[in-house]
Amino acid sequence: MSDAVEAVTAALSEAIKSNKLSSSRVERIKTLSLATLHDPAFASALLRVHLKAPASHKLTSFYIFDAVARQARDIVRKNGAGFDASGAQPPADDGTADGSGAQPQPGTAEALVAGAKTFLSVLDGVAEEVTESTFRDVQPDHREKVRKVIDIWMKANTFSHDLLDDITKKLNSVETKLDQARKSKEHHREHRHKATPENDLGRSSLGSPGMAALAGDGAATTPPTAPPAAVPANLLALLGAAAAGPSSASSAPASQPTPAAATAPPDVMSSISDLLAQAQAAAASSTSRYVRDRR
């Protein structure tokens, strides 16, 4: 790489790194490039530095690419008039020699024009890549800025219309894919958000999912009232026998003397007491087992 190419590449990298374009910086890069238009290494440096630039700096790099390309087209259109050709060098394989076989002399307008033509022919091969890279990386609301530069190229004939048509079609395709990917991502995010309504309900009603879980556990561990144990049938029979005495006495004929109030025999009362104790024990055991099972 020549010293001239290194100098303009350094200025280019500095401007892109700062991500702030000023007229003085752009003019410096354009002036330094006049001595490098004949060297394909300069076009390669433009592409390399642009692709290495962070996404947030791509638009700055693209504007510099545009400024240098349009200057080269102006040099060809004006045949070098009004431009400093002191550092211009003719391309090594320009093919613009006159009938005597002589090439343009260094430092002449002819050498500058020949170098500009060579530079533009090389840019034809990288313009699409630079433009597409910028279009992909900029924010969606900055894509229109890229399209405006293409419109300027079209009006100024900076590049051929066929090339610019191809670039426009490519950008349309890229934009469609980028928008589809963005919509798909948004749809996935909304679907994932709607898939957790229970968690949202727990946070809104109890403050947090953890509190909702604790409340649920407390309700689950509170044992319900155990169902009452059934009274044994034999106890019911004994109770009926104990009550039969008074009932039979009341149904006796009125002519007979009224006997003393009947009472259940001692052995019946003892059996009733035993059965009541057994029923109470069975009820307590049933309640304990029911609570344990619920836990």
pLDDT tens-digit series, residues 158-168: 999 999 999 99
Count CB-CB contacts under 10 A for residue 21: 17
0.85 exceeded by pTM: no
More confidently predicted of 228 and 284: 284
- Residues carrying CATH 1.25.40.90, the chain: 3-94+103-191
Averaged pLDDT for residues 45-53 = 96
Region of poorest pLDDT, from 113-122, 194-203, 226-235: 226-235
Whether 73 contacts 158, CB under 8 Å: yes
Does position 266 have pLDDT exceeding 90, yes or no? no
Give the C-alpha separation, 159 to 130, whole Å: 14
The tokens describing 211, both together, are 């509190």
Give the C-alpha separation, 33 to 87, whole Å: 10
More confidently predicted of 222 and 13: 13
Beta carbons within 8 Å of 34's beta carbon, 6+ residues apart = 83, 84, 85, 87, 88, 112
Give the C-alpha separation, 273 to 249, whole Å: 24
- pLDDT confidence of 126, banded at 50, 70, 90? very high
CATH of region 3-94+103-191: 1.25.40.90
